């Protein structure tokens, strides 16, 4: 472990492990297989672009975590996790994209060797990184185990951020401010969209003179004009033109901690209905931020927004925010709490959210968003400070 730059003190990883074990005990889980790279990183510090192959962290009630993955990635584990090398288990390349064997076959062997194959084993069933074939392999090779759905068990333990995590997110907030500054500096008619996105990426990774940035879990979402009526389009190589708006849904990222922030820029004169929507969204954001207080509920934030929008005659359906923190592709959300009328989760200090009241109309899209930190007293802290408006460039 010589020379490893751990993001957090060992005591923080110990606290995270204890929280997870308590949740496991409550769920009747003796062994937890964690495949989500965000959860793996949160529990052990592991950080590598290896989530395209099968990997996991194994949590029990009495042993240090076990890291398991591809043999070439075991060296990355040695450079990033806090556990000793003996806790790093790996499989050979004969398991990689093989039609004859599955990597989870090897994991089952490892669980047997550690005396864990007859336990109640939790798996993250609803997860990008856990396939049907992975489950079938475990089911076949661990006939004496009881496989239990542990979807989002670790995610919920990540909900309350430590002071060290908030410090990282504030740095990510500074980075995303600079990303939007770069948009306003460079955006003009005739500029190819891909060249503008290149500038955004340059700023995202450059960070500041005091600290650099990391790659975001979602690429810059930058649709223009009619494309901006859709929520999740990226970019093309067409020149920007007058008479169209572009929303920029971006995130600053520092050591895998994300702070998303969206703003919209219009080249020319915006239509009147877009200007009316801007005023309604800003009013709704301010009402929602005021409702985002410790002791209130997630639904209170959503209802404050929707009340303001309805008062202005603007209709929006679905959720308008979600928890954020440490993330890997393809999503910067934590997949736990949502800002929507039916979510009764109590807001507590240390929770962090992307408050996201996007409006996608018939001929334009408008995104003005904030990333929030629930504090002890008063309304939520905005993790980035940026003018809350539709930007217009004549």
State both tokens at 300: 């209170």
C-alpha distance across the termini of the chain, in Å: 56
| C-beta separation of 375 from 292 below 8 A | no
- Residue 246 bridge partners (DSSP): 224, 265
Q: Are 155 and 176 in contact (CB under 8 A)?
A: no
Per-residue HEC secondary structure of the chain comes to CCCCCCCCCHHHHHHHHHHHHHHHHHHCCCEEEECCHHHHHHHHCCCCCCCCCCCEEEECCCCCCEEEEEHHHHHHHHHHCCCCHHHEEEECHHHCCCCCCCHHHHHHHHHHHCCCCCCEEEECCCCCCCCHHHHHHHHHHCCCCEEEECCCHHHHHCCCCCHHHHHHHHHHHHHHHHHHHHHHHHCCCCCEHHHHHHHHHHHHHHCCCCCCCCCCCCCCECCEHHHHHCCCCCCCCCECCCCEEEEEEEEEEECCEEEEEEEEEEECCCCHHHHHHHHHHHHHHHHHHHHCCCCCEHHHHHHHHHHHHHHCCCCCCCCCEEEECECCCCCCEEEEEECCCCCCCECCCCCEEEECCCEECCCCEECCCEEEECCCCCCCEECCCCCCCEEEEC
Low-confidence ranges of the chain (pLDDT < 50): none
For the domain covering 10-157, report its CATH number.
3.40.350.10
pLDDT at residue 1, rounded to an integer: 54
Asked whether 32 and 66 are in contact (CB, 8 A), the reply is no
Question: Domain segments of the chain: what residues?
Answer: 10-157, 163-393
pTM equals: 0.97
Contact criterion met (CB below 8 Å) for 298 and 344? yes
Rounded distance between C-alpha atoms, residue 256 and residue 36, angstroms: 14
Give the model's pLDDT for residue 4: 87
Per-residue pLDDT tens digits for 278-321? 999 999 999 999 999 999 999 999 999 999 999 999 988 889 99
pLDDT at 315: 86
- The whole-number pLDDT of residue 2 equals 65
Task: Identify the residue whose tokens are 């990426």.
Answer: 201
* Relative orientation angle of helices 193-206 and 163-186, to the nearest 10 degrees: 150
The predicted structure's pLDDT at residue 208:
98
Q: Tens digits of per-residue pLDDT, 180-228?
A: 999 999 999 999 999 999 999 999 999 999 999 999 999 999 999 999 9
Rounded distance between C-alpha atoms, residue 137 and residue 147, angstroms: 12
The Cα 54–Cα 104 span in angstroms is: 8
Q: What CATH number does the domain located at 163-393 have?
A: 3.90.230.10
Cα separation of 204 and 199, whole Å? 9
């Amino acid at each position: 472990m010589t020379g490893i730059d751990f993001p957090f003190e060992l005591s923080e990883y110990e606290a995270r492990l204890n929280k997870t074990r308590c949740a496991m005990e409550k769920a009747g889980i003796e062994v937890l297989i964690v495949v989500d790279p965000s959860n793996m990183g949160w529990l052990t510090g592991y950080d590598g672009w290896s989530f395209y192959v099968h990997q996991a962290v194994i949590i029990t009630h009495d042993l240090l975590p076990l890291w398991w993955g591809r043999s070439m990635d075991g060296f990355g584990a040695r450079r990033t996790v806090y556990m000793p090398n003996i806790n790093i288990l790996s499989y050979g390349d004969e398991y990689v994209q093989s039609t004859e064997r599955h990597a989870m076959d090897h994991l089952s062997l490892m669980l047997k060797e550690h005396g864990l194959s007859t336990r109640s084993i939790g798996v993250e069933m609803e997860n990008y990184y856990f396939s049907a074939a992975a489950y079938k392999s475990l089911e076949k090779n661990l006939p004496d185990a009881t496989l239990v759905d542990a979807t989002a068990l670790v995610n919920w333990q990540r909900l309350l951020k430590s002071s060290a995590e908030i410090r990282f997110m504030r740095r990510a907030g500074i980075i995303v401010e600079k990303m939007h500054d770069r948009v306003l500096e460079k955006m003009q008619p005739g500029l190819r969209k891909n060249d503008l996105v290149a500038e955004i990426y340059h700023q995202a990774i450059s960070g500041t003179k005091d600290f650099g940035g990391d790659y975001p879990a979602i690429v810059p979402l930058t649709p223009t004009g009619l494309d901006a009526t859709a929520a999740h389009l990226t970019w093309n190589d067409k020149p920007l033109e007058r008479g169209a708006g572009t929303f920029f849904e971006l995130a600053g990222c520092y050591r895998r901690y994300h702070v998303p922030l969206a703003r919209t820029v219009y080249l020319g004169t915006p239509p009147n209905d877009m200007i009316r929507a801007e005023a309604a969204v800003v009013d709704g954001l301010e009402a929602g931020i005021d409702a985002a207080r410790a002791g209130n509920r997630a639904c209170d934030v959503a209802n404050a927004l929707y009340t303001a929008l309805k008062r202005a005659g603007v209709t929006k359906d679905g959720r308008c925010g979600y928890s954020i923190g440490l993330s890997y592709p393809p999503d910067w959300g934590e997949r736990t709490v949502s800002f929507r009328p039916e979510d009764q989760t109590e807001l507590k200090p240390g929770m962090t959210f992307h408050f996201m009241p996007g409006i996608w109309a018939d001929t334009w899209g408008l995104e003005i968003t904030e990333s929030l930190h629930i504090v002890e007293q008063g309304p939520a802290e905005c993790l980035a400070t940026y003018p809350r408006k539709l930007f217009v460039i004549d």
